Amino acid sequence: MMEEFCAPRRLLLGPGPSTVHPRVLQAMSTSLIGHLDPSFLNVMNDVQARLRHLFATVNRFTIAVSGTGSAGMEAAVVNIVEPGDAVIVGVNGVFGTRLAAIVERCGGKAIRIEVPWGQIIEPTMIEERLRRSGPVKAVALVHAETSTGAWQPIEPMSAVCRAHDALLIVDAVTSLGGLPVEVDQWGIDVCYSATQKCLSCPPGLAPLTLNERALSVVQRRRVPCQSWYFDISLIADYWTEHNRAYHHTAPISMLYALREALRIIAEEGLPARFARHHLNSRALMAGLTALGLDPLPPVDSRLPTLLCVTVPASIDEGAVRAQLLERFGIEIGGGLGQLKGKVWRIGLMGESSTEANVLTLLNALEEIGIQSGWVSTPGMALQAAAYAYSVGR
């Protein structure tokens, strides 16, 4: 039997989870009260109000689904899609692929628009497919593709979807809290995220918002939602401010944590938070480029919250990641799917996005590179990052 578990010290710079602020961890140790206790219901109300601010929406249905980001994805899809419904899905990485799979598990028809991984879906592609596909229930896109580091423009898609009476479903798992997500202004009908990325909260909740247009689709379903747990028509009664009805036992400690994480975000302010993510991303990319690591997505569609860089065949990418973890306590991610063994995915999300972390990672990579022979000039990565900081402030 294991003795008491003591987690090793890690610098979390992978695709998630991100570093959690001590205040958030402390909030999780708050004494439990009942999930229908009036005091806890006030916590839920506050979480809803703060999530609306973060999503930039007035949607009354804005909640935190019990489960990780994939639970948010599933809740978004299973409530909208019924058997026989056609849904256009942008597939440019792992999570677009997952969206399509969930559509098909609902009995829907997933119409995939596929582009090379690392690229984005153009509005003209969506419009052309809508014109020739007959009635389409929804268009589903990943705003920040975690497997490739691609940053998908969303706002141009709204008018296209509205013109064809299709809902717009957006995955904001790796963007909410690190990049602007303007649900109302962009015309997004359904949007979901996760707590463990840019919100710097432990995994376990999935922020979700639906506008009235999407809710009316849910209310007009021909058959009940295939998932009882994620059935919005049932969950809504628990999250409604008045006359709440029991649905399930909410993860009380996680909601304490999310509320504190949202308080920290509000204290920093969204413009400052977004600027911090951009600055640290530019500095890290400058350093990685100096080491001969080229970004996968083009410059105009590159995420500042998650950098995906190609690793030359001459570098044993798995061995370098292992050394980072074992020698320096730094976690970065490898590739998924067709990018396995070919890229590194480095997260600069929430509390993990700091100048100190950027310089610490680059210093460790330089040391490993010098010892392994693929870095010839010591200090070049750090110098490039320092210059990016000096001109970026």
Coil, helix or strand at residue 64:
strand
Provide the β-strand partners of residue 310.
294, 343
Q: Which CATH class is domain 269-392?
A: alpha beta
Rounded Cα gap, residues 161 and 220, in angstroms: 19
- Identify the H or E element spanning 308: strand 306-310
Coil, helix or strand at residue 301:
helix
Would the pLDDT of 2 be above 80?
A: no
Mean pLDDT of 274-285: 98
Contact of 187 with 159, CB cutoff 8 Å: yes
Who's near 313: CB < 8 A, 6+ residues apart?
none
pLDDT in tens, 293-311: 999 999 999 999 999 999 9
Would the pLDDT of 242 be above 80?
A: no
Contact of 111 with 136, CB cutoff 8 Å: yes
Rounded Cα gap, residues 113 and 129, in angstroms: 8
Closest among 189, 211, 223 to 82, alpha carbons compared: 223
Q: What backbone phi and psi angles, to 5 degrees, belong to 294?
A: -95, 140
| pLDDT at residue 244 in the model | 81
| pLDDT at residue 350 in the model | 98
Residue spans of the domains in the chain: they are: 21-266, 269-392
pLDDT tier at 17, thresholds 50, 70, 90: very high
Mean pLDDT of 26-48: 95
Q: Where are the alpha helices (DSSP H) in the chain?
A: 22-28, 38-55, 69-80, 94-105, 123-132, 155-163, 183-186, 212-219, 232-239, 252-268, 270-290, 317-328, 355-372, 380-392
pLDDT in tens, 342-392: 999 999 999 999 999 999 999 999 999 999 999 988 999 999 999 999 998
pLDDT tier at 312, thresholds 50, 70, 90: very high
Average of per-residue pLDDT values in the chain: 96
Coil, helix or strand at residue 7:
coil
Q: Which CATH class is domain 21-266?
A: alpha beta
Q: Write down the number of H helices and E strands in the chain.
A: 14, 15
Closest among 296, 383, 251, 288 to 118, alpha carbons compared: 296
Contact of 287 with 384, CB cutoff 8 Å: yes
CA 93 vs CA 115, 138, 141, 180, 261: distances in Å: 9, 19, 11, 21, 29
| pLDDT at residue 277 in the model | 98
Would the pLDDT of 1 be above 80?
A: no
pLDDT tier at 241, thresholds 50, 70, 90: confident
